[in-house]
Structure 1
Amino acid sequence: MNDFATTATRWVIRIVLMLVGLVFFLCLLSVACLIALAWGLRALWAKLTGQPVVPMSMGVMSPFAGWQTVYRSGAAWMAQSSGDAEAKKDAREARSRRGVLPGAGDVTDVKPREVHES
């Protein structure tokens, strides 16, 4: 009788885990189907209205922007923790030069030209 109970318990646990996995898979499948349906409806609406069909994307991701965020937060942290006037000045400069590449002010072989509008 003890052998029957352990065998039955093992099978019940296996069946329950299989059902949990099946439910999880069906949830993921339904989410993927909803996303595909939304994309299809969006593409259909674009075709009906004469707009170009633009693929869904996450937008522009710039690794430089991420690096600048980390660099600026590190410089500000160092300035606060050390109380160093030089570090505080560097942190302020880093915040003021958000879109400027490091070392861009040191370029000497480029001559600026006037902008001609056509």
Structure 2
Amino acid sequence: MTIKPANLSDPAVRAFVTAVNSHDREGLLHLLAPGATMADDGRDRELDQWIEDEIFSSNGHMEVENESDGGRALRARYRNDTYGEMSTQWRFTVDDEGQISRFETGQA
């Protein structure tokens, strides 16, 4: 069973998933706080390059299976043209302005 993006609890995370799934680069970048960081499988990555490679140039898509921590932790089936589909986990840090200052993802 999946959770529709519109039903996700945290507004910033909801907007992130919606932007990924609609391939809305401008919308996604608007959600990120200045100086935002990210990690993939426990290793910090260069945010802009990761977003380009893993989301936009490879048609990334998230199907959220569950959420916890007030909607800031997700388990999702993630697929893109590079790696196919895999079970992933996501954790988001949202600042006081409602922007994502960090996200971490990796295989679940």
User: Normalising to structure 1: TM-score of the pair?
Assistant: 0.22
Instruction: Give the structure with the higher percent strand.
Output: 2
User: Normalising to structure 2: TM-score of the pair?
Assistant: 0.24
Instruction: Give the structure with the higher percent helix.
Output: 1
Q: Work out which structure has the larger RCO, using CA pairs closer than 8 Å and 6 or more positions apart in sequence.
A: 2
